[in-house]
A and B are shown apart, each in its own frame.
Chain A
Amino acid sequence: MKSRQILAVPAFLWFGLFVLVPLLIVVVISFSTRGTYGGIEWNWTLENYHNAFSWTYLGILFSSLILAVFTTASCAVLGILMSWAMSTAPSKNRHFYVSAVVLPFLTNLVIRIYALRVFVGYRGPLQATLNFLHIPFDPFVLSQNKFLVLYGMVTTYLPFMVLPLYGAFEKFDFSLVEAAQDLGAGPWKILFSVILPNLKKALLSGVLLVFIPSLGEYVIPDLLGGAKNMLYGNLITEQFLKARHWPLGSALSVLMLCLLLGVTFLYYRGLGAKNVE
């Protein structure tokens, strides 16, 4: 062992103390009871899990899953098309295009969501246009709805899909496309039987990168969805910050983590099996 390896010890300690241990603590808390005033009492119980599996909460989990799947699917379709266009653009423009897609992602999420609310909000450009065209609308429905949540999620997570796909497109051998064109294949045939099989790995990692954060998203549904569209991230946050029922909140998050781990595991196992074929 080289002596400079000692330098890694502080980072190890930090990760251990503030990433790993906290996760274990959440698991421990999920088996405890709520105190009278919202604290934690160390009496072990399975009640939180019993509650977490109630139909109401499972229903919320289900609608979050649906939203996450829709978000992932939309990002995948858009990401493939966009990175295809980006990678076949003149090479001097490509770096600019990648930056243009990534830049908003590195700015504040709350601001981007706020901007969206200005856009669809009272006297915003969208409502002004609809008024001008004499199209009737309900301003409350227009400024807080499920579609808006999906739109916010897709625009937020798109870079996670575009970056790996673009990277794969950059390495892709485009002479295969030329060959397919020469043999008379149309663009869709080329996409599905020439390009996508070569992009499988990047697409699959993009899918995970979008799916994992979108399942527990809190800010976007909270600000764009309104109170009617409760999602799992909001449910967990409410248990922690409003209802102050930490044990239940912990049980709900452990459940979500197990689901994510399970999905990831099955996903890679399924992939492994496919690659053998």
Chain B
Amino acid sequence: MSSERTRPKAPRLASMMFWIMLILLYLPILVMLVGSLLEDKDGSLQWTFKWFLEVIHDENLMDALKNSLFVGFVSSLLSTILGTASAVALYRTTSRMYWMMEGLSMISLIFPEIVFALSLLSWFFVLKLELGLQTVIIAHVSFSLSYVLMTVNSRLVTLDPSLEDAARDLGAGEWTILKTIILPLLRPAILGGFILSFLLSFDDFLITYFVNGVGQDTLPVKLYTAMKMGVSPKLNALSSLMFLMTFSVLIFFFRSGSFRILFEEGSSKVRSDEREQTNNLL
């Protein structure tokens, strides 16, 4: 028994389009994955792990991987701390600060990436900051902060306010409530925000390309420069490795449901309901 009635089917053209687009989205990636496992020996194709071994033994690439992991870890740690603190500080407040924060994170979400990149580059130049991993980290925090805010916020608005009220009635102070009630309840969302910003940082190309220092490439920048020369089985293997890394993390988190809040209408609906409530109160 389903709680909702079956919906009238969409015309066949719509479902055909859906499957065609899915194939178009995944087919090139599949070809790349297969290509990385093939070797051309005297005109006949053979399965091989050779290209993957070449990638793993390439010191340049491994340095880039280290840079990527370092930048990803530090920047997502920073943005998780900043984002969680600010989300916790501003929830259930109707102050102007809440809307200012919404506006700021909207700006950083919606601005064209290229303007984001070049404005940071100009700012670092004016500040006379030397370009390097430190500037890449600053830039990555700036764009992932709003994603952490969004993730943590969408969990915060679903918390039952009576928990907090009960604690307050029992004499708990603002900080005790935060530490013993709100933060433990937020743990999955905080973790989700951390992973999301790590992925965003790990995958970012354009902004890193603008603000990184000479010789301190991250993996996507290395891949881009190599790609300019054309395609090769080794590059296939590198791309496949990177793709599989991200993809497996994503699958894991999709299954655990941490990301669901980001893509479902529910979270924003809750927030607007709450807005209405607060408006009524005022």
Contacts and interface: CB of A to CB of B under 8 A. Distances in A.
B273 interface: no
Contact of B14 (A82, A100, A107): A82
A156 B229 CA distance: 23
A102 B254 CA distance: 10
B114 interface: yes
Interface string B1-17: 01011011111011101
Interface residues of B, number: 91
B203 A253 contact: no
Interface in A238-260: 240-241, 246, 249-250, 253, 256-257, 260
A1 B203 CA distance: 39
- Interface majority SS (helix, strand, loop, mixed), chain B: helix
Nearest to B269: A171
Nearest to A237: B114
Contact of B199 (A106, A122, A170, A257): A106
B99 interface: no
Interface string B101-131: 1001101101111111011111101100000
Contact of B18 (A86, A107, A121): A86
A85 B231 contact: no
Contact of A11 (B35, B145, B209, B251): B145
B203 A107 contact: yes
Interface string A11-23: 1101110111111
Contacts of B178: 4
A212 interface: yes
Contacts of B142: 14-15, 18-19
13 contacts: A4-B88, A5-B89, A5-B93, A14-B82, A18-B123, A25-B119, A25-B122, A89-B15, A101-B22, A108-B202, A119-B31, A174-B8, A240-B118
